[in-house]
């Protein structure tokens, strides 16, 4: 409750500060209660190749590129702002935790879930993905073809991600996957052969595999979740309507598709759905592959 | 991985290249970077009067370490070229300037883009901090980015007093810009030369039932040197496909690996390939760049004809006559961070080696890629000192 009141107070203060310009409407960015007038302060959680990589000086990101960087710039432009100020949110958990933020909006491949909505506000989604399964190179043949086969392998997941939840809910309740705090370390373990397979967003895995195919084995397929990425804002942020308007505009005129095509060289939707058991057929979604409720 | 020294000739080193050039190179880093680096040296000297004398001797004594060694790439490995100068700034500026025309003719190249700027250089307790403009990380091809980083780290750590390098971009720490590399900590040559991949495993044939028609095809391919006699087993697989591709390449047929009507007709009348050049008796190898095949030759007769992929257009395999200087069962490519199994190296970083993907066209960094199975055979066939001839034209 206290938290709620505080955020309301912030909104009220921001609204008061912006009051003289408010008659201009939402078109001009000048009246938006951003942290820095005229600029959108964007939180990122570098690095995720394809989505956001860059150069970090202190907490300021002095150089960045990727799908979410292009998207953030476009959103700021559509909000009528001069540009973006990029700052690093050191942990993914920090993006999703309740409380005040050092940024106006964060882009960090954060899947919208009911649980997370209790702590932060999400924008309208900008990308839909499933989970993917990437194998290590040199896995003995015949390789896994079903979720049941996967349960017998050394699985690795990133802590707190949808992939981690998938292992318990869809693969095996008794499997004990190795859990990594950092995505980079998990993928290095896969390359070094310490993991047989990793379960992570299919979008992220397909970018990894396409960039350095000689470092990985096969991208086995996807586990349907239909999870959707949304931009994250402090819960109850007054900027949410403007961010949503901008994202909707970016989607409507095809800009979002253009940005996605620029960075996502592989379309995860083309991957086969991994059946629950062998023989169920790798391409046709088997019964019971409906999206799982996400944590 | 030990660096390979290619001994630069001093003559052409200073001449700046003008106008467009097909090869990647670097310009303009020199003047900007020299000044801050020099001031660092002076600052360091002022700070420590005790070391002043030693420093002065080091600066005034060109006899010891009078040349900076910079790292370029040839084939799949870093190679060293000597340049005048002893300081980190001199070495880095020489690296930014790229290889000389003479070095380029020997397929020695740089992955650092022309116009990459050094914004500042400093050294503190053996750790060099070098801040670059964003051109250092331009592009998204992993091999190019990794090779650039290896060149920078390799060059800097060869300067006396530099153990490791903190690479920066616009004054910040690169995160995710060099695929698979954690650049938050200072980097060393040793770290880059240490494999971070599981050892490679050659793919085995899938289980397929043998057939007599396949046996007939294999026997014919074996008679013509495209397959080893013991591989005639009636079972189709990657080796048979590679043998068909090698045959199609030699005959100038469409390279699809399928024994279709045109290929089967040609097989009826085909003759065993013969060496393109005459050479010494005993074992030698000819690499035919135009046909994309490798000939294993014994006493001037072809014993095997092998499907291969040589250097891509931007990184062609050097033409000439060489001799094998090293055999490495598992060669770790320092610039590209991958294993090259069954490497037979014949000049600088250029070798015949196994690779999981051998397309029907020139695709490598300058090496000669061979399919799994074939590479081990070439490795066993070869010995140090054996002649390897790379021919641009074989017709």
Task: For chain B, give the mean pLDDT.
Answer: 84
The phi and psi torsions of A169 (rounded to 5 degrees) equal -85, -35
Select the residue from A48, A49, A50, A55 to test the B interface by mutation, using most B Cβ atoms within 10 A: A55
Same domain, B171 and B219: no
Q: Tell which B residues from 320 to 339 touch A, by Cβ distance under 8 Å.
A: 338
Rounded alpha-carbon distances, angstroms, from residue B31 to B19, B96, B153, B171, B318: 19, 11, 21, 19, 33
Question: pLDDT band for position A276 (50/70/90)?
Answer: confident
**Closest residue in chain B to residue A184, using alpha carbons only:** B180
Query: Are B198 and A191 inside 8 Å of each other by CB?
Result: yes
pLDDT at position B152? 98
What's residue B44's pLDDT? 42
Alpha-carbon gap: A225 to the closest alpha carbon of chain B (Å): 27
pLDDT > 80? residue B10: no
Q: Do A54 and B177 touch (CB under 8 A)?
A: yes
pLDDT category at A279 given cuts 50, 70, 90 is low
Does any domain span residue B206?
Answer: no
Q: Which domain holds residue B8?
A: 4-193
Report residue A92: phi and psi, to 5°.
Answer: -65, -35
Pairwise CA distance, residues B46 & B194, whole Å? 38
Residue A286: pLDDT band (50, 70, 90) is very low
- pLDDT for B346 equals 96
Q: Which of B171, B182, B338 sits opposite A62 (nearest CB)?
A: B171
Q: Are B68 and B144 in a shared domain?
A: yes
The residue ranking higher by pLDDT, B7 or B182, is: B182
B202 touches A at CB < 8 Å: no
Average pLDDT in the A254-265 region?
A: 92
Cis peptide before B284 (omega within 30 of 0): no
B126 touches chain A (CB under 8 A): no
Distance from CA of A48 to the nearest CA of B (A): 7
Instruction: Give whichever of A204-218, B36-50, B65-79, B99-113 has the largest mean pLDDT.
Output: B99-113
Is residue B255 one of the residues assigned to a domain?
yes
Same domain, B154 and B301: no
Q: Does pLDDT of B42 surpass 60?
A: no
pLDDT in tens, A214-241: 889 999 999 999 999 999 999 999 999 9
CB pair distance less than 8 Å for A47 and B169 = no
One domain, residues B164 and B253 = no
Tell whether B141 and B170 lie within a shared domain: yes
User: Per residue in B277-311, pLDDT tens?
Assistant: 998 899 999 999 999 999 999 999 999 999 999 99
Q: Is residue B207 part of a domain?
A: no
The predicted structure's pLDDT at residue A92: 86
Count of structural domains, chain B: 2
Average pLDDT rounded to a whole number, residues A244-259: 96
Looking at per-residue confidence, does A198 or B31 come out higher? A198
pLDDT of B89 above 80: yes
pLDDT at A270: 84
Ranges A56-70, A278-292, B50-64, most confident? A56-70
Looking at residue A176, what is its pLDDT? 87
Angle at B208 between CA B207 and CA B209, to 5 degrees: 125
Summarize the confidence of residues B171-175 as an average pLDDT.
Answer: 97
| Contact at CB, B177 and A215, closer than 8 angstroms | no
pLDDT tens digits along B249-285: 999 999 999 999 999 999 999 999 999 999 889 999 9
Q: List CB contacts of B135: < 8 A, sequence separation 6 or more.
A: B113, B115, B116, B117
What's the topology of domain A129-226? D-Maltodextrin-Binding Protein; domain 2 (3.40.190)
- The residue ranking higher by pLDDT, B178 or B34, is B178
Positive or negative: CA dihedral A232, A235, A239, A244 = positive
Q: Say whether pLDDT at B55 is over 60.
A: no
Any chain A CB within 8 A of the CB of B197? yes
Check whether residue B276 and residue B176 sit in a common domain: no
CA distance A60 to chain B (A): 9
Mean pLDDT for B366-382 is: 94
What is the mean predicted confidence (pLDDT) over A176-180?
A: 91
Q: Which residue has the higher pLDDT, A3 or A48?
A: A48
Eight-class DSSP state of B198: P
pLDDT of residue B140: 86
Say yes or no: B283 and B341 in one domain: yes
Position with higher pLDDT, A266 vs A260: A260
Transcribe B171-188 into DSSP letters.
TBEEESSSTT--TTSPB-
Cβ contact B201:B354 at 8 Å: no
Q: Which of B306, B279, B281, B310 has its CA nearest to residue B295?
A: B306
Please check the confidence at residue B119 and state whether its pLDDT lies above 70.
yes
With beta carbons under 8 A apart, name residues in chain B contacting A48. Answer: 176
Residue B328 predicted with pLDDT over 50 = yes
The CATH number linked to B366 is: 2.40.440.10
| Residue B373 within any structural domain of the chain | yes
The length of chain A, given as a count of residues: 295
Tens of pLDDT, residues A8-48: 344 444 444 443 433 333 455 558 999 999 999 999 999 99
Domain assignment present for B363 = yes
Report the pLDDT averaged over residues A269-273. Answer: 87
Report residue A93's pLDDT band, with 50, 70 and 90 as the boundaries: confident
Q: What is the pLDDT of residue A29?
A: 59
DSSP string, B202-262: PPPPP-----HHHHHHHHHHHHTTSS-GGG-SS---HHHHHHHHHHHHHHT---SS---HH
Same domain, B31 and B131: yes
Q: How confident is the model at residue B36, as a pLDDT?
A: 40
pLDDT higher than 60, residue A6: no
Is B175 near chain A, with CB under 8 Å? yes
Q: Domain check: are B79 and B14 in the same one?
A: yes
Picking from B134, B175, B196, the nearest residue to A47 by CB comes out as B175
Residue B202 lies inside a defined structural domain of this protein: no
Q: Is residue A75's pLDDT more than 50? A: yes
Residue B375, pLDDT score: 94
The CA distance from A182 to the nearest CA of chain B, in Å, is 12
Domain co-membership, B96 together with B189: yes
- Under an 8 A CB cutoff, do B196 and A192 touch? yes
Which residues, 6 or more positions from A19, have their beta carbon under 8 angstroms from its beta carbon?
Answer: none
C-alpha distance from A207 to closest chain B C-alpha (Å): 11
Structure confidence at residue A136 as a pLDDT band (50, 70, 90)? very high
Query: Same structural domain for residues B383 and B322?
Result: yes
**Per-state percent for chain B, helix, strand, coil, to nearest 5:** 30, 25, 45
In this prediction, residue A172 carries a pLDDT of 80
For the domain A2-128+227-263, what is the CATH code?
3.40.190.10
Whether residue B124 is preceded by a cis peptide bond, meaning omega within 30 degrees of 0, is no
Domain spans, chain A: 2-128+227-263, 129-226
| Percentage of the residues of chain A whose pLDDT score is greater than 90 | 63
Domain end, chosen from B193, B227, B246, is at B193
- Asked if residue B261 and residue B162 are part of one domain, the reply reads no
Q: What is the residue-averaged pLDDT of chain A? A: 84
Is the pLDDT at B153 greater than 70, yes or no? yes
């Amino acid at each position: 409750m206290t938290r709620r009141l505080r955020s309301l107070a912030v909104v009220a203060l921001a609204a008061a500060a912006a009051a003289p310009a408010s008659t201009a409407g939402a078109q001009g960015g000048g009246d938006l209660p951003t942290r820095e007038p005229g600029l959108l302060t964007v939180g990122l959680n570098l690095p995720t190749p394809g989505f956001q990589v860059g150069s970090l000086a202190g907490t300021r990101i002095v150089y960045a590129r990727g799908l979410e960087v292009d998207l953030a710039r476009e959103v700021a432009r559509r909000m009528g702002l001069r540009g973006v100020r990029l700052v690093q949110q050191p942990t993914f958990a920090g993006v999703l935790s309740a409380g005040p933020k050092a940024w106006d909006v964060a882009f960090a491949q954060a899947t919208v879930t009911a649980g997370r909505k209790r702590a932060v506000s999400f924008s309208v989604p900008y990308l839909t993905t499933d989970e993917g399964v990437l194998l290590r190179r040199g896995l003995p043949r015949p390789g896994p073809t079903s979720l049941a086969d996967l349960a017998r392998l050394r699985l690795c997941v990133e802590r707190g991600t949808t992939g981690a939840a998938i292992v318990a809910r869809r693969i095996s309740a008794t499997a004990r996957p190795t859990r990594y705090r950092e995505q980079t370390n998990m993928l290095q373990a896969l390359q070094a052969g310490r993991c047989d397979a990793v379960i992570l967003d299919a979008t992220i895995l397909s970018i990894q595999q396409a960039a350095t195919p000689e470092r990985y084995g096969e991208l086995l397929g996807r586990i349907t979740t239909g999870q959707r990425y949304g931009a994250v804002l402090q819960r109850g942020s007054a900027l949410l309507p403007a961010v949503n308007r901008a994202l909707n505009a970016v989607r409507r005129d095809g800009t979002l598709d253009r940005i996605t095509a620029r960075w996502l060289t592989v379309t995860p939707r083309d991957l086969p759905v991994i059946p629950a058991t062998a023989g169920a057929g790798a391409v046709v979604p088997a019964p019971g592959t409906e999206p799982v409720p996400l944590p | 991985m030990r660096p390979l020294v290619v001994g630069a000739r001093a003559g052409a080193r200073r001449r700046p290249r003008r106008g467009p050039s097909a090869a990647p190179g670097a310009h303009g880093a020199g003047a900007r970077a020299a000044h801050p680096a020099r001031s660092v040296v002076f600052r360091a000297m002022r700070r420590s009067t005790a070391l002043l004398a030693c420093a002065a001797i080091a600066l005034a004594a060109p006899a010891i370490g009078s040349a900076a060694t910079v790292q370029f790439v040839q084939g799949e490995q870093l190679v060293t070229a000597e340049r005048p100068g002893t300081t980190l700034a001199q070495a880095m500026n020489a690296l930014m300037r790229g290889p000389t025309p003479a070095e380029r003719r020997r397929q020695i190249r740089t992955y650092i883009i022309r116009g990459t700027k050094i914004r500042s250089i400093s050294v503190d307790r053996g750790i060099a901090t070098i801040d670059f403009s964003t051109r250092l990380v331009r592009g998204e091809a992993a091999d190019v980015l990794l090779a650039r980083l290896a060149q920078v780290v390799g060059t800097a750590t060869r300067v006396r007093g530099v153990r490791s390098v903190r690479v920066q971009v616009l004054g910040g720490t690169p995160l995710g810009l060099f695929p698979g590399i954690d650049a938050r900590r200072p980097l060393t040559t040793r770290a880059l030369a240490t494999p971070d991949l599981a050892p490679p495993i050659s793919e085995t044939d899938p289980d397929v039932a043998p057939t007599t028609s396949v046996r007939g095809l294999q026997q014919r391919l074996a008679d013509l040197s495209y397959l080893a006699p013991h591989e005639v087993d009636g079972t189709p697989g990657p080796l048979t496909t590679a043998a068909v591709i090698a045959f199609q390449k030699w005959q100038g047929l469409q390279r699809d690996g399928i024994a279709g009507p045109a290929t089967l007709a040609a097989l009826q009348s085909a003759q065993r390939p013969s060496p393109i050049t005459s050479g010494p008796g005993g074992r030698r190898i000819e690499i035919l760049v135009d046909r994309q095949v490798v000939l294993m030759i014994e006493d001037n007769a072809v014993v095997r004809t092998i499907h291969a992929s040589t250097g891509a257009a931007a990184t062609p395999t050097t033409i000439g006559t060489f001799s094998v200087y090293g055999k490495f069962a598992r060669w770790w490519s320092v610039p590209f961070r991958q294993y090259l199994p069954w490497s037979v190296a014949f000049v600088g970083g250029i070798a015949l080696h196994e690779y999981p993907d051998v397309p029907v066209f020139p695709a490598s960094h300058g090496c000669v890629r061979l399919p799994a199975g074939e590479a081990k055979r070439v490795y066993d066939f070869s010995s140090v000192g054996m002649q390897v001839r790379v021919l641009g034209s074989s017709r």
